[in-house]
Amino acid sequence: MSNSLTYLQHYPQHLQDQIQQMLEAQQLGDWLRSRYKGVHNINNDKELRDYALDIKNQYMKKTQPLSKVVYDNKIHIVNHALGLHSYVSRVQGGKLKSKNELRVSDLFKNTPEPFLNMIVVHELAHLKEKDHNKAFYQLCRHMLPDYHQIEFDVRVYLTELDNSGFVFTPPSA
C-alpha cells in the first residue's frame, strides 16, 4: 500500500486502488470538484459558532452548552486530527461546572459545506458519546444521514491536499 493513502488505509483495497489510480492520473482533484461545487462562506469563529450551535440546537438540545467554537490552525499538524472537543470541569461553590469546546481545523475554511458539516457533527456527537462506538456513529448518521460517504470524501480530499497542496481554492500567488 502506498504511503500517499494514509487517510484511507482502513478502507477496502478496491477503493484504495481506485483512489490511487486517480491520484497517479492527477484526476483526484477534478473528481472532488465535480462532486462538490464551491466552498462555504463560514470564515470566522463567530460564524462557525453560530453554525455549530444551529446543528446542536436542532439535534442535541439537552446536551451541555458549548462555551467555545473556533477554527484552529494547529490541530492537523500537532494532533493529526481534523477537529477536537474538550471538556474542562471545575468546582464552583458546591457545583461542578463544565465547559465544552469545539475546535475545527482551519483546513476546513476553504472546503464545501458538507465537509465542514461532517467535522462539526463528529465533534458534536462527542458531547454525548465519548468513544467511536456504534452509538456514536448512529448519532452522527442521525444528524447527517450520509455521514460515512462524506467522511470518506473528506479523507480523499486530505489525500489530494497532501498530494497537490490545494483542491477547492488555488494557492495564493
**What residue has cell string 502506498?**
2
Rounded CA-CA distance 134/15 in Å is 23
Rounded CA-CA distance 31/84 in Å is 28
pLDDT confidence of residue 30: 96
Q: What is the pTM for the complete model shown? A: 0.86
Q: How far apart are the first and last CA of the chain?
A: 34
Amino acid at 38: G
pLDDT confidence of residue 78: 42
Q: For strands 83-92 and 95-105, give the pairing.
A: antiparallel
Q: Which residues of the chain have pLDDT under 70?
A: 1-3, 76-92, 96-97, 171-173
pLDDT confidence of residue 2: 46
C-alpha to C-alpha distances, 67 to 9, 73, 101, 121, 166, nearest whole angstrom: 35, 19, 6, 16, 32
